[in-house]
Structure 1
Amino acid sequence: MNRKHSIRSRLSVQSVRTTYHDILPFLRWFEFSKERNLSDLTPEALDQYADLIADSKVSYNPKRRQLLAVSRVWLLSPFLPAHYRLVSPPWERLGNLEDIVGASDWTAENKTEPIHPATMSPLLIWCQRLVNDLSTDVIEASSVRDKMKSSIPKEQPSNGLEIINSYIRELQLTGQKLPATIVRNRRQGRSTAVAAEYLSATLGVPQFALKGIHHKYEVSNEASAPLPYKPMGTIDGKPWTDSIDYYEATRLKRLVLTACLVVVCYLSGMRGEEVRALKRGCCTEITDDDGSTSFRIEGQTFKSATNEHGNLIPGGKTREVPWTVIGPVAHAIHIAERLHGQELLFPQSEFNVISRPSATRGTSVSNQSAKANVGWLIDWCNEQAERLEREHEIIPEDPAGLVVLRRFRRTLAWFIYRLPGGRVALGIQYGHLHSYTTDGYGSRVSAGLRDLFPMEEALSVSDGLARAVDAADNGSHVSGPAAERYKRAVEEYRDVYSGKVMNAKQAASLMRNPALRIYDNGPQILACCYDPAKALCHPDRKVNKAVGQSPDPTACDSRCANIARTDEHIERIQQLIDESKREAESEAVPLPLRERSKQRVSLLEALVQAHDETGVEL
């Protein structure tokens, strides 16, 4: 029998665990039945069990899994003793579980919440700053610390006691205290202790020689173990720190590696598990025929990694088409490679807070560890923002909760649709990424970035119509061939959607309504009341085009019957007229460009005049 890949011949460890929990209700039900063997169960008895599952107070997915768990037992019947062999469950003959457990609550909308822009923007600023401006200091300071640590002798030199006493006398003369480090204890909280390892490396004596030194002389009440390295990094031209603490160097290295992880996850659009599996040397620079450069990443893909039998390959498989990424991603990968010498780009041992690095060597950073480190990164950035009096760069708490790796990919889709000319930006800055990562992701369009877009497109349209409702309440006007359609759309949106929080079902309803497909084309300064039958941006347009199609903002035609302009558009056009007039009158502008500016002024003034003469009130 041919089955979908959802029932595979070999299960992953997680699927085995899930299947065990899904089969338990059936085993408990069978325990209290009259039959002694599974082979004694009749189709009618299994029908009763299906009814029991259908009436249970769980959602569609658990119900479906619980019935499929029984189907697995049936599928294994040829390999089981006779008394364990089940008859074919009734739902297998029906072929549609919805007839038994009800309609699915699944929607195409990706339910992962995007990171709020108020959180994502300063987070990206700080991560780029750490990677671009501060990473060299951290790498150099870590190197200095490692050399100091490796120089600590194991045996007491002949003049060791003299060195220690001489050091203490110098502290007494200068009024300084013993260097200290911050100790974090669950019971006592934060406290200070003598920086023994730092002192050993500085004085050239073993740590045991310093035992009891804190009883002989006073210890500083704050961290004071600066490395002999002068930081060179700056923030807006000002030094970011005067020194780097001996004990802070390792934590800063982990901080920069976490920033690299964020940059790669967010700006590449790769899935979290794909980023975590990247290896040293994965990114290469490619020179195109026109002399321009791009960067490509070779790595593993997991979602579509199946063998000829449809079974998942646990370790994933090499992606046939490399990811193409922008410069900041390539630079973040380069910095990550400089931070450690392991094969994996983001190894768990480099993100450990408590456990020994050797215990996790050879494994990639876990989602849990990545989440904890991103949280620590945000806390550190906020501390620095306050210390450096950069309150405008404080990273606020995200309304949807903790920042985890899977949310970066979701957030990328959010920004693509909300930036002016978002799809144009995707085509230019992420041009290769659109063809490779969106359409070819795992050899399936539905497995790529495009599956994240529908809700964002709906929310973008909704935001535009919400602004139009506000403008209409303030007496705004609209003009153009599609003015009446724009007005009707605003009225319908006000009656149906205004003031409501849009869910996935409402978003789908909005995008199915051809009357509400209003797109704001920022570069062309107009609103597109999109009707595929009238659209000049699609030369192959047909009357029966699917409503799912969107306009092409890069091919907007001024003759199109879908155009409408509001007072807001006219204000922006007036600003362009003023700029063009200044260029036309400037002696510094070449004559051909001045003539072009004059022509532009004429065309734009005609639009303003038409709006004043034909505009109708919203």
Structure 2
Amino acid sequence: MNTPSTRTDLELGPSIDGRYVLTGLWLRPGYSLTDTSQFRDDAWRLEAAVTQAHVRSVVVNFDTLAAPYRLPAKELCLAMLSGPLPAGERRQSVVGIGSTFVEVRKFLHWLTDRAPESGRPSVPTLGSLTAADVLDYHRHLMTLSVGFGSRENSRRAVCMLWRYRTCLTDTLSFDARRIDGWTMHKPGTTENATGRIPELVLGPLITWAIRFVDDFSGDILAAAAHRDDYRSRRTNGRYGRNSGAAEALEHYLSRHKAENDPLPGYQGRPNMQQIAAEIGTGRNGLDTNPAIRGKVLACAARVGVTDYTWMPIAIEGRLHGRPWIDGIARQHPTKSYLHLQRMLHIACYIVIAFLSGMRDAEIKHLRRGCLSTARDTDGTPYRWTLTGVAFKGEADPHGVTAEWTVGAPAARAISVLEKMHPHGRALLFSHPPGSQKVRPRNDATVGVLTTKATSGQLKDFAIWINSYCTEHALTESIPLVNGQQWVLSTRQFRRTLAWFIARRPGGSIAGAIAYRHLSIQMFEGYAGTSDSGFRAEVEAEQALARGEDLMAIATDHLHAPVTGPAADLAHYRLDTFAAAAAFSGTVITDSTRIKRLMKRSDPAIYPGTFALCVFDPDKAMCQPRPDQGGNVLPQLGHCQPLECSNTALTTANLDALRTEHHHLEQELTTRADLPPLLDHRLRERLRRLVDFLDRYSHADPYIDRTHKGKR
């Protein structure tokens, strides 16, 4: 049996109990080392050393451990925080150390709770453990309903009790990684396990989020501005700067009587606080003066009071041509300005998260002024960039500066957030102003929403959407998925965007760059979910979509023949495809039958915007590539319809080419300041496009009218 060492690299001594465990670490502004935990404490609070603003609390509790394990557990945590690192070990973040401790604690609890055995102490020392003991724990992990990653984290934590052996008074006497049967082989797929948001959920979710940003935000921000004015009036009245209050009250009550307009109410009574603010005085002046209070109550008896105190703002936002809400109240279950402000806040998060692919931690560190807009010479914006901080995979615990290119809706969401927060608040995902969650703690980072809080707001937003749709008889609610409400999480937006990016031509390369992945394969693993692999799933989905398009083209080509250099071959293949489908004037819409048809009789025709590719790899100019099964496929993202002999043209293709012709002409006409080389290339492309349309449009009147005489 291994005898526990009494000397460690941590230099334990009589003073170790009073040592502050965060000594030498960076602390959040406003924290003092003397406010932090000491080694002797049964629970260490570590959030003072956390660099990520959205992390509110990190606590490691030792009091649930058996007494013999508390000291080595504390020594391990202290070593991971600031002790000497084992060779090749990187310093973990404070959050990572908290997660590692949770897994170590699971192992130590298992040692204590496992079934007793003759000759084995109920709480064995770590040094007395054998390979058989850790293999028993390995078998225990295999019985748990968790994924490969969770088991690997648990096993890695056990190895820490060997890796940090020079810092522990009681430690494993062997490296578990060298035991036969301990190492687990990775499953065949390396795909990320986070679920994508189903499209039937994503559609209404993004639609409503953008509506909040574009259509509803003005009213919500106006209500917030009125709230600030309301508070200012209360403050002025409190300090006696309310000369003329009596006259103001008389005028206020007279106006309500003349218009038979109910007074602001709360729980069936006049809202004295609101009335005082509107006339610019303090509430005490109304409550404590019986004569004045009597006038207010008499007016209320005559004109009545409202069920809720509505803000005196005009609703400007429209939905389907009508005001989206009848009013915004000071206090209301669903229409209060605070509730709607929270919905606007999470709507901005949804738009930014989905259109940027940023992680939750990265979004939570966006600051005022993070948006950069690139404009052309006419001042028209064409690119929006967010500058923030990336943490994952970086050696610096404070993160590194990173940029993300986003769409216009995300840029508008940033603008809304900057208007929502007061100028002194830098972090855009702090709790909204007026929220009960904003604590006057040491630093501004305390007010940033945690991941858990954001997940709760996502749930509330989905509930608001469905409640609103029910109240207004709209069919734009978020449907159930397999009979249950879809549970949204912050990780799903990045994952879902990856799926959409990767389905585009060249998307795997673009996604690897945008997601800061080290390889295309890493991005494909992140973007996919199927056991067969992401690329195979995408290609199967694309084949189904192509089959549906070809079914429609095969029925139309007899009435609207295709043209182009590959027209004859296209007609032959489409006729063969139609015969294989046994057409009788109807279109097959069943996806299973279409998949079977495409697998059996794929005509190797690929519909595109500007051309119908009648694929022959020997003639293709797009540098064809093989799929996972070794089949050579066209690179539609590199299609060259004006030059390639595989090109056939449908009516829709000709329309798209004509639109391109119009855009080129417009660009050359309106942009006299184009660089000479670009001007030459655009004119050359226009010339080739005109020739191509003349050749294959069969003397279409559009061509005669638009193109003749321009060469």
TM-score by length of 2: 0.60
- Match among 454, 458, 463 for residue 374 of structure 1: 458
Q: Distance in 2 between matches of 1:483 and 1:537?
A: 21
User: Structure 1 residues 578 and 12 mapped into 2: Cα distance closer, same or farther (>3 Å)?
Assistant: closer
- Match among 182, 191, 198 for residue 109 of structure 1: 191
Q: Could you tell me which amino acid in structure 2 is paired with residue 370 of structure 1? A: T
Aligned to 2:505: 423
Aligned to 1:149: 231
Aligned to 2:427: 344
User: Structure 1 residues 296 and 475 mapped into 2: Cα distance closer, same or farther (>3 Å)?
Assistant: closer
Q: Distance in 1 between matches of 2:93 and 2:228?
A: 50
User: Structure 1 residues 63 and 131 mapped into 2: Cα distance closer, same or farther (>3 Å)?
Assistant: closer
Alignment of 1:260 onto 2:342: no
Q: Distance in 2 between matches of 1:449 and 1:13?
A: 28
Alignment of 1:555 onto 2:644: no
CA contact (8 A) 1:580 1:601 kept: no
Structure 1 residues 472-481 or 395-404, which shifts more? 472-481
CA contact (8 A) 1:255 1:373 kept: yes
1:129-166 deviations in Å (ceiling 9; x for gaps): 33234433333332233112211222787986887688
Return the offset for 1:282: 1.4
User: Structure 1 residues 86 and 282 mapped into 2: Cα distance closer, same or farther (>3 Å)?
Assistant: same
- Match among 222, 230, 233 for residue 140 of structure 1: 222
Alignment of 1:300 onto 2:389: yes
Return the offset for 1:37: 3.7
Q: Distance in 1 between matches of 2:660 and 2:406?
A: 38
User: Structure 1 residues 224 and 147 mapped into 2: Cα distance closer, same or farther (>3 Å)?
Assistant: closer
Q: Distance in 1 between matches of 2:616 and 2:163?
A: 51
Aligned to 1:609: none
Q: Distance in 1 between matches of 2:106 and 2:512?
A: 36
Alignment of 1:444 onto 2:518: yes
Return the offset for 1:383: 5.6
1:194-252 deviations in Å (ceiling 9; x for gaps): 4343222113343343488897645535334332x434444566554565444533443
User: Structure 1 residues 535 and 376 mapped into 2: Cα distance closer, same or farther (>3 Å)?
Assistant: same
Q: Could you tell me which amino acid in structure 1 is paired with residue 212 of structure 2? A: L
Instruction: Write the mapping of 1:111-126 to structure 2, written as runs, cut at 5 A.
Output: 111-126=193-208
Q: Distance in 1 between matches of 2:244 and 2:395?
A: 66
Q: Which runs of 5+ in 2 are unaligned?
A: 1-85, 558-568, 582-589, 667-685, 701-711
CA contact (8 A) 2:342 2:432 kept: no
CA contact (8 A) 2:370 2:388 kept: yes
1:473-525 deviations in Å (ceiling 9; x for gaps): 999699659969x98xx99xxxxx9759x9xxxxxxxxxx9x99989543255
- Match among 273, 277, 289 for residue 201 of structure 1: 277
Q: Could you tell me which amino acid in structure 1 is paired with residue 274 of structure 2? A: Y
Aligned to 2:693: 597
- Match among 392, 400, 406 for residue 491 of structure 2: 406
CA contact (8 A) 1:280 1:344 kept: yes
1:10-62 deviations in Å (ceiling 9; x for gaps): 94223322332244223445975626543333445555555565567766455
Q: Distance in 1 between matches of 2:373 and 2:347?
A: 22
1:44-84 deviations in Å (ceiling 9; x for gaps): 55555555655677664554444333321122222223xx2
Indicate the SS of the match to 1:279.
coil
Return the offset for 1:339: 1.0
User: Structure 1 residues 459 and 574 mapped into 2: Cα distance closer, same or farther (>3 Å)?
Assistant: same
Q: Could you tell me which amino acid in structure 1 is paired with residue 222 of structure 2? A: E
User: Structure 1 residues 114 and 529 mapped into 2: Cα distance closer, same or farther (>3 Å)?
Assistant: farther
Q: Distance in 2 between matches of 1:8 and 1:246?
A: 43
- Match among 589, 609, 617 for residue 523 of structure 1: 609
Aligned to 2:79: none
Aligned length: 535
Alignment of 1:12 onto 2:88: no
1:427-466 deviations in Å (ceiling 9; x for gaps): 9xxxxxx75x632644623698554434565444323444
Q: Distance in 2 between matches of 1:95 and 1:548?
A: 40
Aligned to 1:332: 413
Aligned to 2:80: none
Indicate the SS of the match to 2:385.
strand
CA contact (8 A) 1:148 1:201 kept: yes
Alignment of 1:129 onto 2:211: yes
Return the offset for 1:472: 10
Q: Distance in 2 between matches of 1:215 and 1:238?
A: 36
Aligned to 1:463: 541
Return the offset for 1:599: 1.7
Aligned to 2:366: 278
